[in-house]
Each structure stands twice: as C-alpha cells, then as structure tokens.
Amino acid sequence: MARTSVGNLGSLVNLDKAIELGEYDVNYLSRFDEWKELPRNSQWQLIRRAIRNRKTLLRVNYAEIFNQLNFSEKPELAKALKNVEKQLKKLNEDEEKLQIEYSI
C-alpha cells in the first residue's frame, strides 16, 4: 500500500502502521487515501485485524500492570487495571457494532 501520512504524526503513521497499532476507528482510518479505495469487505478485514491487535496490546498492558512488584501495595495499579478492563469492554462492544454495520 502507498504511504499516506495523517495528522500531526507526519510520515510516522500510514494505514498499515495504524492497523498494526490497533487503530480501528473508521473516522480515523478514512483519512488515509488507501482506505477510501478499498472495497467494504477489505475495510472490514482491516478493522478486524486492528481490533485483534488492540486486544493483544490491552491484554499485554493488563499483564504488565498486574505483574508489577508489590501490586497489592499500590492502589493506583488497581485503578489502571480497571481502566484497561473498561477499554477491553468498550472494544468488544465496538467490535460487535462494527460487525453488524459491515455485515449489512
């Protein structure tokens, strides 16, 4: 795919990199010229890949937080875990909505 940059990140982010980093927001992805040229089914496949990537990143983040030394003595880490759990829940909800949207 061509290397189209978006926003303030300049040439650091292209469509492939955004997907790799777990960016699945259609409004963000639609800023890339390549996105606009893809058939709807291909867009859905990229969204699915981005969601899988985001889930992996969030799960790794959760594990890293949970495995901090003296976790039980650091209440701020429990808050961080709750935040990751919220993000995972929202991600699952978004995935379901997008699946319905791209199946119609």
What does 9-69 look like in DSSP terms, one character per residue?
GGGG--HHHHHHTT---HHHHTTSHHHHHS-HHHHHHHHHHHHHHHHHHHHHHHHHHHTST
CA distance 102 to 44: 6
Question: Which of 4-8, 26-30, 34-38, 77-81 comes out lowest in average pLDDT?
Answer: 4-8
User: What pLDDT does 5 receive?
Assistant: 45
| Tokens 């992996």, residue located | 56
Contact present, 50 and 18 (Cβ < 8 Å): yes
Give the pTM.
0.85
Residue 90 half-sphere exposure toward CB, CA atoms < 13 A: 10
User: What pLDDT does 104 receive?
Assistant: 81
